Chains A and B, each alone.
Chain A
Amino acid sequence: MNLETIKSEIEANVPGCRLEIVPNNSPSGQHSLLIDSETALTVARFLRDAAHLRFDYCSNVTGIDWPGKEISEKVKIKKILDGVEQEVEEIQKTQSAGHLEAVYHLYSMEKKHGPVILRMRTEDRADRIHLPSLTPIWRSAEFQEREIFDLYGIVFDGHPDLRRILMWDGFEDHPMRRDYVEPDDYEYEPTPHDAVLQKAKQHLSETGGR
């Protein structure tokens, strides 16, 4: 089933939805559909209930962390150099906010086709991290969304039981994020090298050789 047709069908049936096809350049050719969080539930319900689509089985739900990147731009600024006003090119660096992403792999058990891949993105990685939960549509997302909440920190609105699932309740970090720093309890190897050596050195300089 072509993703383009599915996209136009959703657009025809769900008013006001903003869809975008995220192309995938690998040989797998599994392109995905970026949906907006406002109409996500309606889109998901349409995909599940439409008689010829019937994506009744949500197989895989996962989170991805895309940290902000440093964007370098060349900007022309007027500056006074040696008493003369000159136009100078300067590189301005800005930090993009980055985002967290939730990915849903849908199949149909009835029609035996698939996958259709849905993606949802949060606005940033700090406080605007809410996404609608698709657990009301597919129950199989229940534990997997909890896992994303635990490890990535995406808050799923409308989830029946959003708690930490793998780490303990008082745990404060989101360990699958790319910028997570793990606690310093690394046990040294007798002949450390590369990353292990760096870690050992850092530990020793912090603890004063103990």
Chain B
Amino acid sequence: MDEKLKVELGKQGIFTTTLQELYNWGRRNSLWPLNFGLACCAIEMIATTMARYDLARFGAEVFRPSPRQADLMIVAGTITKKMAPQVVRLYNQMAEPKYVISMGACAISGGPFKQGYNVLKGIDRYIPVDVHIPGCPPRPEALIDAFITLQKQIDEQQLTGVGRPRHLDPDAPSEFIVPQFGPHDLEPPQNPDVWRPPLVNISLAGKNESGND
């Protein structure tokens, strides 16, 4: 519909919309996060919901303790290998449509703890992530920014066609492999359907390339 006509009709008290806009508007403004904190970032997540930053302004103040009632998982903190299966399981238990915000350096890549033997180097090895926010921990404003980014992403989604959201595509997976505890590491160490190691350009020929010797 012509944008000008729409505005004109609006002035006359007639509201026109498309099903897609209405549907996206509904999803966008009632993101219910899972009440789920892992580490330091969770404290900033709580601070975001408190009076000063007031996440309720964006329609996301209802933190649900049960994954069945939530549509947004904020992965707030370091995911250890012992915790990773539970995170994936919680994600699998959430009903579609569902989104993931990976909050903080640890959830993105392991952050400062990425050398650790028990630290998962980023939750995107097992589940798809919609928005990453850097920071250690990200400030509450950054989390709000991630919310707005996610809302914009939802707003721009086409309900039909190739780029349609996962929950409208019967072929797209909604559940992902839950890793198992192995004798030395998680098995598998990553889900190849979701994540593959980044390609790096390192020549193996040279010997002393590290620059310190």
Tell whether any CB of A sits under 8 Å from a CB of B in the complex. Answer: yes
Q: Taking beta carbons and an 8 Å cutoff, which residues of A are in contact with B?
A: 166-173, 175, 180, 182-183, 185-188, 190, 192-194, 197-198, 200-201, 204-205, 210
Query: Can you show 17 pairs from A to B with CB atoms below 8 A apart?
Result: A166-B82, A167-B82, A167-B118, A170-B183, A172-B184, A175-B118, A183-B117, A183-B184, A186-B115, A186-B121, A192-B202, A193-B211, A194-B212, A198-B210, A200-B202, A201-B204, A210-B197
Give the most central of B110, B182, B189, B200: most A CB within 10 Å: B200
- CB neighbours of B82 from chain A (8 A): 166-168
- A197 touches which of B110, B115, B181, B202 (Cβ 8 Å): B202
Are B182 and A170 in contact, CB atoms less than 8 angstroms apart? yes
Q: A202 to chain B: closest CB distance in Å?
A: 10
- A170 touches which of B118, B122, B181, B212 (Cβ 8 Å): B181
Is B185 in contact with chain A by the CB < 8 A criterion? Answer: yes
Mask, B197-210, CB within 8 Å of A = 1, is 11010101000011
Q: A111 to chain B: closest CB distance in Å?
A: 38
Is B109 in contact with chain A by the CB < 8 A criterion? Answer: yes
Given the known interface contacts A185-B189, A198-B210, the answer about A204 and B183 at a Cβ–Cβ threshold of 8 Å is no
Are A182 and B117 in contact, CB atoms less than 8 angstroms apart? yes
Closest to A199 in B: B115
Is B114 in contact with chain A by the CB < 8 A criterion? Answer: yes
Categorize the interface residue count of chain B: 20 to 34
- CB neighbours of B198 from chain A (8 A): 187-188
Closest to B209 in A: A197
Q: Taking beta carbons and an 8 Å cutoff, which residues of B are in contact with A?
A: 82, 109-110, 114-115, 117-118, 121-122, 181-185, 189-190, 197-198, 200, 202, 204, 209-212
Given the known interface contacts A167-B118, A197-B209, A198-B210, the answer about A187 and B109 at a Cβ–Cβ threshold of 8 Å is yes
Q: B122 to chain A: closest CB distance in Å?
A: 7
- CB neighbours of A190 from chain B (8 A): 200
- CB neighbours of B182 from chain A (8 A): 170
- CA distance in complex: A187, B106 (Å): 13
Q: A206 to chain B: closest CB distance in Å?
A: 11
Apart from A170-B182, A170-B183, A171-B183, list 7 A-B contacts with CB within 8 A: A167-B82, A173-B184, A185-B185, A185-B189, A187-B110, A188-B200, A198-B210
- CB neighbours of B121 from chain A (8 A): 185-187
- CA distance in complex: A85, B5 (Å): 112
Closest to B182 in A: A170
Are B210 and A197 in contact, CB atoms less than 8 angstroms apart? yes
- CB neighbours of A185 from chain B (8 A): 121, 185, 189-190
- CB neighbours of B117 from chain A (8 A): 175, 180, 182-183
Q: A188 to chain B: closest CB distance in Å?
A: 5
- CB neighbours of B204 from chain A (8 A): 201, 204-205
- CB neighbours of B109 from chain A (8 A): 187
- CB neighbours of B110 from chain A (8 A): 187
Q: A19 to chain B: closest CB distance in Å?
A: 37
Are B200 and A168 in contact, CB atoms less than 8 angstroms apart? no
- CB neighbours of A192 from chain B (8 A): 200, 202
Closest to A195 in B: B210
Are B122 and A187 in contact, CB atoms less than 8 angstroms apart? yes
- CB neighbours of A172 from chain B (8 A): 183-184
6 tightest Cβ-Cβ pairs between the two chains A and B: A183-B185, A182-B117, A172-B183, A187-B121, A168-B181, A188-B200
